[in-house]
Every structure is written in structure tokens, then in C-alpha cells.
Amino acid sequence: FAARQVSRSAFGLAQRRAFSASASNATKVAVLGSTGGIGQPLSLLLKLNPRVSELALYDIVGAPGVAADISHINTKSNVKGYSPDGDGLKGCLSGAEIVLVPAGVPRKPGMTRDDLFNTNASIVRDLAKAAAEHCPDAAMLIISNPVNSTVAITREVFKNKGVYNPKKLFGVTTLDVVRASRFISQHKNTDPANENIVVVGGHSGQTIVPLLSQSGYSLEGKDLDDYVYRVQFGGDEVVKAKDGKGSATLSMAMAGARFAESLLKAAQGQKGVIEPTYVDSPLFKDQGCDFFASNVTLGPNGVEEIHPVGKLTDHEQGLLDKCLVDLKGNIEKGTNWVKENP
């Protein structure tokens, strides 16, 4: 018995060593917009992630302060803050393998995400230019809204610089799945940890398409309409509640950190890592949608396999049809804007 105990604990130790060896791979992660409502808690969560060895924080204001604060947390990663002065952005991005971009303005009540386009398009374009120059091979995780368009903007910038890799560009739509899973658990009184509702499409209003039927749920009538509305307009719930002081930040930080963790796991060799994300996708290109969010298997090189949307009910097909119309317009808007404003 004692021998068995010893060998079991030796096995446990070996497992722990194997884990910490893979978890200690050197990975530099950059956050652009790190002083903001999302940027700060996202940076905090990344500091707690043992897979991150270097955390580079950039913002037009205050990143060195956020970095100094976070750097005292007793995890191994080194944290450095960068300002726009001198070569700040270059220093932040050089050597980065993952770049998260939550830079830009959030909504106020009454605004759509598309209303942010005029301000955020140029912010994302300029940051994408810097990334294309200083870390062209990094995975780009775009959080800044309107995501349906800012991802297309990033693609155009990378294409213009001749470094576009469709496997490394991600619109972060994780929050939609987090919400869809939480909201059904509230409705059905289940454990949200066991819910993983498929959400496809884009990240705004009716481009967000939850596919409840694929998790075996069959809500009907008002219950179904209310559920779909809540998933599609969950962001507005937060915007309204914050009453002019911004949009979702804490839940978004969790969602962004979860997506980064999945990419890191896949990069460090874990198999079968699947996340929903908005990527350059063949699924609806023939309908003018170059980008589409669906479940994606992640691998060491980024996108490994794009999963099809799967079987839909007639109701879900109706939602998808509406989604594709809006999404096409949002993608074209981003693409055309860079052509006019390179």
C-alpha cells in the first residue's frame, strides 16, 4: 500500500512538473489600451496566468502606472508599461506572440457599436500598422468595437504591409458565449459551468446568433424570443446600467483572458482546444461575409479548423439569414474605410 502511495505521488509530481514545464514556455503578451476599463482587469488576469512570461502594457495614458501596480503581484512574469513617447509602441510589440487590443471608446446609452466606428477605426488601424511592423507573426485579438468592422480593418492593414496571416487574426466574441451560457443557466436553473452554448455570426445585435438547439434546448415562443434578445443585446443591458460610464469591462476582461489562455494552451501543444471566435472563414464567403464567428479548433499556428455552424432549426436559420445581411455591410464598411484611409 505504502509503495502504491509513493508511486502515485511520484506520478502526481511528474504530472505537475510536466504541467509547469509547458506552462513556463516563454510567451510575451501585449495589451494595447491597458489603462482602460477592460485593459486593467484583463492585464491583471494575464498576470495571474503562468503561461505568460512577459506582459507588455501600452496605452496613450497611464500604462507605466498600471504596469508598476500589477508587477508587484507574486507571479513570475515580468511586466512593463509603455507610453507613446519615443519607441514605446515598438518596445511593447517587439517579440509579442499575442496582442490583445481593447483600445478605443466604449458606447454610451442610445449608441450602437457601429456609432463607435468613426473614432475607433483609426485607433485600430494605427495600432494594427504598428503590430504589422513590429510583430507581424503575433496572434491579433481584436476587442475594440465595432468588432465586425475592426477585424476587417486589421486584415486590410496587414495585407497592405504584406504580412496578413488569416490564421492569426481573431475577433474576440467569447463574451457572447459566456453570456449565452450564463443566461440559459439562469433560465433552466443549471450550473453555468456545464453550459457551453454555441453562438455564431458576429458581435453586434442581430449578427449575434445563439444556437440553443445544439445544446439540446428547445425554448418556444416568448421564452425563446426573450432569450435570443438577451444574448443579442446583453451588451446594451450593461451600457444602460452603467448609465454613461461605459460598457462591459469586467466580464469582457474575463472573456478576453479566457480566449488568450486557450490560444496559449494550443500554442503550447494542448490538443482539442476549441473556442468560438470571429475569423477569416470560408463558411459564408459566397454571401459576402469574409469573416464569421463559429467554433474554431486552435493550434500552435492559430486557427487549425473552422467548425461549420451545424444543424439549425428554422428559427435559427431565420436569425442567421438576418445576421448575414448586417455582417456583410459591417465587413465592407471596415474594408472600404481602409482603402480610403490607408
Q: Which residues here bind ligand NAD, judged by CB under 6 A? A: 32-33, 35-39, 58-61, 102-107, 116, 120, 123, 127, 143-145, 147, 172, 175, 203, 246-249, 252
CB of 176 to ligand LMR, least distance (A): 7
Start-to-end CA distance of the chain, whole Å, equals: 71
d(CA 146, CA 120): 8
Per CB under 6 A, the segment of 85-93, 234-242, 267-275, 308-316 that binds ligand LMR is 234-242
Residues designated as active site? 203
d(CA 251, CA 256): 9
Interface pick for ligand LMR out of 67, 130, 239, 289 (rule CB under 6 A): 239
Distances (CA, A) of 157 to 95, 111, 129, 184: 19, 27, 6, 38
* Binding at 239: pick from ligand LMR, ligand NAD, none (beta carbon under 5-8 Å per type): ligand LMR
CB of 171 to ligand NAD, least distance (A): 7
Check: CB of residue 120 under 8 Å from CB of residue 51. no
Q: Does 175 bind ligand LMR (CB under 6 A)?
A: yes
Q: Please state whether 327 falls in left (phi above 0), alpha (psi between -120 and 50) or beta.
A: alpha
- Name residue 71's amino acid: S
d(CA 146, CA 90): 25
Interface pick for ligand LMR out of 40, 148, 247, 294 (rule CB under 6 A): 247
CB of 284 to ligand NAD, least distance (A): 20
- Give me the helix-helix angle, 174-188 and 234-242, nearest 10°: 90
* Binding at 302: pick from ligand LMR, ligand NAD, none (beta carbon under 5-8 Å per type): none
**The C-alpha cell of 102 is what?**
481593447
d(CA 116, CA 145): 7
Interface pick for ligand LMR out of 107, 134, 230, 265 (rule CB under 6 A): 107
Nearest residue to ligand NAD, using CB? 36
DSSP three-state, residue 34? coil
* Binding at 101: pick from ligand NAD, ligand LMR, none (beta carbon under 5-8 Å per type): none
Q: Does 144 bind ligand LMR (CB under 6 A)?
A: no
Residues that bind ligand LMR (CB under 6 A): 106-107, 113, 145, 175, 235, 238-239, 247-248
